[in-house]
Structure 1
Amino acid sequence: MLSERRWDAIVAIVATVIALGVLFLFAPPTPSRTAVSLAALVLFVAGYAVVGRAAVEPPRAAWRYPAFLSVAAVAVGIGVGAAPFMAMLQTLAYPLVWVIGDSRRRGIGGSAVIAGSVFVGVIIGNGADADSVVAGATTAVFSLAFAIAIGLWIARIAEYGEERERLLSELTAAQGQVEALSRERGASAERERLARDIHDTLAQTLAGLVIFAERAGRQSREGQTDAAAATIATVEQVARDALAEARALVARTAAVPREPAFAAAVERLVERFRAQGHAAIELDTADAAGELDRETQVVLLRCLQEALSNAAKHAAADRVQVRVRVDAAGGAALEVADDGRGFEPASPGAGFGLDGMRERVALAGGTFEVDSTAGRGTSLRVHLPTARQDAVDDVSGGAP
């Protein structure tokens, strides 16, 4: 809908045009009629300025509509009776009645009142003969029909605009809720990622520190000075590794060793577990000469770290076999097998171990398999596809 200022401009322009037409183009036969028609025009403009203008935009006081309708009907009737050209005042009266009435019922009723005033004005100006009645009725009926048709059309457009505004507000609110849920989900995913990283890095390293510290204390109490010193040196090195891992986590980067070759990173991790002395670890990296992206390295190293930790702490294994393969295209596979006590994979576990590995591998688009039987050891296999193959799979899966 138009604002008050725009209606001010419209009323001023149309009133000026009507006044000029009455004075210079379609002047009434007598000066008195000219004065009456101009007075009617002034009455209409004053009625708009004093009563109608404040009701153009909501909120609208209930009394303003009938008050303005009365002033407009009187002004139109008197003006048309004084000068036929004053019928042009309908171009202002009808739209303002619909705008200020603010409903179909009031718009139609107000239009009928204005049409009736036009009919009365024609009768007053031309006399109550048959020709005047026919002319007045014809003018009133046609103007009323046109006003109602245009008014209903404009009202429908206004309702459509309001409906669109309401839907837009609802959509904006819904988008805000979706954004909030997305932030919450992202925060939850970030918390889970941090939990996995802490479990796979700091928690594992601190557990190793506890084991080495206990060994050093036992060696010291037994008088094994050299062995205790060597263990303390290992504790120092592991503590430095823990510090590096903590800094990596703070920087939101994975705590991957900084060797340029992936095989060297695997050997370093295996050597750390060998130093704990729980099990003999056989490592095969002959087929791990290919280059891997950083994310794939993170997944494989975390899975290897968790598998070795489980073999040492839970399986009580004496022997662990580790095999890492990297193909030229960037795909990788990890196999870890131990001769420990084993477990039932179907039984629910407590902790992040297997579930964390399975989730990490799934997020990387790989496969994770565990084969274990109570008393017969455990075999763990991880396979990660190349980044190119991952993209092809996504496209193929989304094709119809």
Structure 2
Amino acid sequence: MTSRRTRRRSALRDRLAAAFLPEPVEEGGGEPLTERGWQATLAGLHVVAAAVWVLAVVTAVGLQDGEGRPAAALTVLGILAAAYALFGARAIGGGRPVHAVVYLGVLVASFAALGFTAPVLFFMLFLAYPQVWFVVQGTATGIAWTVLLAVSSAVGPVVRAGSGDEARDVLLSTGVSMVFSLALGLWVSRVLYQSARRADLIEQLGRTRAELTAAERERGVLAERERLAREVHDTLAQGYTSIVVLAQTAAAQLPEGADAARERLAVIEEVARDNLQEARAVVAAFAPVALEGSTLVEALARLADRFGRETGLAVRVDTSALDGGVALRRDEEVVLLRGAQEALTNVRRHADASSVAIRISAVGEGDARQVSVHVEDDGVGFDPARAEGAGLDGLRDRVASVGGAVDVASKPGAGTRVTVRVPGS
């Protein structure tokens, strides 16, 4: 019940603010100043406001007969000061539309009252007009509140005017002050708008630079992985192959009765074969599957085909859950492809599986859309909570860099499923 009442009050405040204030994004986003600069600006505004109020109080206390009513003027000044302390200062700080509406309403009413009680205090319009623009920070709404403030301040002097000429002079002076206020306000609004646009451009430039840096780093990592793959293939893998062949040749040349030596050679061959398999797994994990000129689905199909030929396992690529296709940035495609490679490398090394399935899915819409690659095997499985390895940790870091996540589901004797998920559009 309390939550419903709170939501109702919040909706009422939003409608009230929308009727009198512009939307925060009316003229671009971003802060026109740094946080430190903006706080210094606010402090300056508060100091100026305090100085003008002190001067107004001194002037009100010293009012002579015919200039106004001191008690009424001091009452209006007190109300205006309280409204500024409770609402105006916070509204100028930004992000408080209800405070802004209340303060502007009190401001207009106060100057309407001063027009009847102490027009001599209208020098405070020097403070009031700029405050309107700092509170609303929007062109159309700033013009509306400025005109309303000017009209309210002119009502009292016009009503009290002793002649038509005096009333005309009041309207003329009010109109001139309003025109100058509008000109100043429009200039301030334009400066704020341009400053905000520059802030947006700087922010976009920073994001673009960060993306380029990440892409360059990724390119460097991939190049280094490819170099390591070539080095492993040309050195370690070839060396282990030679050891296997030499062990087989030596065993064939042994005379009858050399069982102990033949056993030692068999052990050497077995160790060399195991290390050759590990070297080939490293090469398979590091060797790139080209994405240039092809889609992610095509690259995964080639990866599955190559893995099947190298291991003899049955590998199936399933795209039935690919709802609406795949629309990804290149770095996101690379992350999904590398995730599939890492998962297949673990299948090769540890799973002792007979079949592997690679599934690609795209679910959700808009900002909630996600694209996933699932690699599932029917191998021996393991306990993910007790597993340690740099491969999955590195994969998680890489996926996190594009806002994605990695899930590993497995248990002993029940196979393993690795899911790599990234945001999709």
User: TM-score, normalised to structure 1's length?
Assistant: 0.49
Higher relative contact order (CA closer than 8 Å, sequence separation 6+): 2
User: TM-score, normalised to structure 2's length?
Assistant: 0.47
Q: Rg: which structure is higher?
A: 1
